[in-house]
Amino acid sequence: MQFGGTPQRRRNRRQMLNVELNNDAYPHGLMMYNEPPNMNITLQEFETYAFERVQVLHFLDSLSVSAVKNSTAYNEKLTEFLRKNYPGFLLSTATGREVSDAELEWRRKDHISHFILRLAYCRSEELRRWFLDKELDLFKFRFLHESQSSIQQFLKLNNLSYEPISKEERTRYAAALSTSSYDMSEANVENSLFYRVPFVDVLNLVTSRRVFLFQGDAFVPQKEFLSIISTRYREHLSKALVMTSRALPQLDEDDRLLPILKSFNQTAVTSAYDPKRNEGKVSITDLEELSKLSYPLCMRQTHVALKETHHLRHWGRMQYGLFLKAIGVTLEDSLKFWRQEMGKGIGIDKFDKQYSYNIRHNYGKEGKRTNYTPYSCMTIITKNPPSAQDHHGCPFKHTSSDLLRQKLKTYKAPSDSIDEIINLVKAQHFQIACGKYFAATHKMEESSFQVTHPNHYFDESQKILKGEKPTGRGRGGAKQENEFNPTWAEPIHHKTQVNQDLDESEIERMMVEYSEA
């Protein structure tokens, strides 16, 4: 990938595009992104392409906590957003005809923007995980919109040797295929596509008895086949992100690209929460009542455990302590609260010696004097899972269904909502389940609130209890997904920046190095 800005390069740009944009360069609209781009682009294109893709990924992030992935509502909202803003993502690959210049230009943009965001989101494990999950969601959505002939072409281009079974085999094994496939009648078998896959590649489907086995092969229906391809895609992209991160020191020397890339990875992928707006607003004498009225389930269970056992282990103290700080408990009150509770178990002197330093540290008064922010839902769900003696974590993620059901009853969640919450948990829609819990406990028929942070949950609850109109926003001001409006900055390019030229492309060299590793 080279960056052109000189007059000579701009004059030759149209000629170069004619060479770059052809069916050989982009034979299919859906990509595994195996090869990095090797072409000239301006810095303005670099930033604009990446900015547009970031908006799509953030919309997917917002949508994933308000609708079940791949459900009808999810697909309809995503389709509406893409059609209105980025229709290129809805282009399926039509086989048997010449691809238009507009489609080839879109494929080029898709290719380049993906690799740019690899650079932006490879810098930490958290950024890599977020980017990987959102890109996988986008890939799955696009894969499901491809035709059977297009999928066959995609498999062939990417050396994925999975062949569909013949029509005769579908007829011969119709009864077995119907029995082994979820929600598939014998009549539907005739018009459905099944792939012949070595059974060792789909052991998860074999163990759950969701495929028909014959002579060492599994006959996988197309809707299950996506899991195989997406697994391959995840493995490939995960490895590529790690390889890119190892090559980053070369890029850090370029003071023109680095600010652009950092502007993308500093967007709110973790639903950041600013605790300053609540400084000194909550008294510790009110915590018991607030825990019953406005705490999310994750914080209520830690509060109850602390009251009952007078002890929390490290991650429990971190999760709950930072939450208290963000709702407005002062440092002095926080020390008093923890001393009162834990002092009952270990004594005041031992508490002051072993634990008070960490509390002051969380408030930025010790050590590096960093003002730590509270944990987001994604951090609680994905990091530091609780063990048997712990009380932190996400109860929707880390608690068994039976124990969760019992806990919901104990906390007086309406009985008619409990089954729905449990079903969402079993489908691993933990944040949506939390949103249903919020709606049920606040006597709302349907909540538009997207739960992405425990402290946003608390704030929304307090607004409702005070008779104020809730924002319905789980990201501290971001609009709901059907009125999406990004909160990050617009592209920061300027004319003087666009015209700067890189004769020796460090990015191109870096891309080639990690792709060949």
Q: Residue 481's closest CA among 90, 89, 62?
A: 62
Predicted confidence (pLDDT) at residue 179 exceeds the cutoff of 70:
yes
Phi and psi, residue 163, nearest 5° = -105, 140
d(CA 372, CA 353): 22
Exposed / middle / buried, residue 308 (Cβ in 10 Å: 0-12, 13-18, 19+): exposed
Look-up: residue for tokens 């009162």? 340
Tell me what pLDDT residue 330 has.
Answer: 94
| 19-28, 276-285, 403-412: range with lowest mean pLDDT | 19-28
Predicted confidence (pLDDT) at residue 481 exceeds the cutoff of 80:
no
d(CA 406, CA 418): 10
d(CA 120, CA 245): 10
Tell me what pLDDT residue 281 has.
Answer: 83
d(CA 102, CA 109): 11
d(CA 88, CA 52): 11
Residues 6+ apart with CB under 8 A from 293: 461, 465
More confident residue, 13 or 114: 114
d(CA 262, CA 47): 11
More confident residue, 481 or 243: 243
Predicted confidence (pLDDT) at residue 111 exceeds the cutoff of 50:
yes
% of the chain exceeding 70 in pLDDT: 80
Q: Taking phi first (over 0 means left), then psi (-120 to 50 degrees means alpha), and beta for anything else, what does residue 209 get?
A: left
Tens digits of residue pLDDT in 195-240: 999 998 888 888 888 889 999 999 998 878 888 899 899 999 999 9
More confident residue, 236 or 147: 236
Considering the chain, what is the average pLDDT of its residues?
A: 82
Tell me what pLDDT residue 482 has.
Answer: 37
Look-up: residue for tokens 């299919």? 28
Q: Is 394 annotated as a binding residue?
A: yes
Tell me what pLDDT residue 347 has.
Answer: 92
d(CA 334, CA 367): 18
CA dihedral 167, 169, 175, 181 (to 10 degrees): -80
Spell out the SS3 assignment of 439-473.
HHHCCCCCCCCCCCCHHHHHHHHHHHHCCCCCCCC
Q: Residue 447's closest CA among 437, 455, 462, 459?
A: 437
CA dihedral 258, 260, 264, 265 (to 10 degrees): 10
Coil/strand/helix, residue 411: coil
Tell me what pLDDT residue 472 has.
Answer: 57
Q: In which band, very low, low, confident or very high, does the pLDDT at 20 lie, cut at 50, 70 and 90?
A: low
Q: Is 122 annotated as a binding residue?
A: no
d(CA 278, CA 463): 13
Predicted confidence (pLDDT) at residue 513 exceeds the cutoff of 80:
no
Q: Residue 45's closest CA among 452, 510, 497?
A: 497
Exposed / middle / buried, residue 254 (Cβ in 10 Å: 0-12, 13-18, 19+): middle
| 92-96, 376-380, 479-483: range with lowest mean pLDDT | 479-483
Tell me what pLDDT residue 503 has.
Answer: 35
Coil/strand/helix, residue 154: helix
d(CA 457, CA 474): 7
Containing 398, the helix (H) or strand (E) segment is: helix 395-398
Predicted confidence (pLDDT) at residue 477 exceeds the cutoff of 50:
no
Longest dimension (CA), the chain: 80
Sheet with 163-164, strands from edge to edge, namely: 163-164, 194-198, 217-221, 212-214
Q: Residue 115's closest CA among 493, 516, 510?
A: 510
Q: Residue 306's closest CA among 289, 327, 321, 293?
A: 321
Most confident region among 39-43, 142-146, 190-194, 329-333 by mean pLDDT: 329-333
Q: In which band, very low, low, confident or very high, does the pLDDT at 267 lie, cut at 50, 70 and 90?
A: low
d(CA 214, CA 173): 10
Predicted confidence (pLDDT) at residue 371 exceeds the cutoff of 60:
yes
Tell me what pLDDT residue 512 has.
Answer: 43
How does strand 212-214 pair with strand 194-198? unpaired
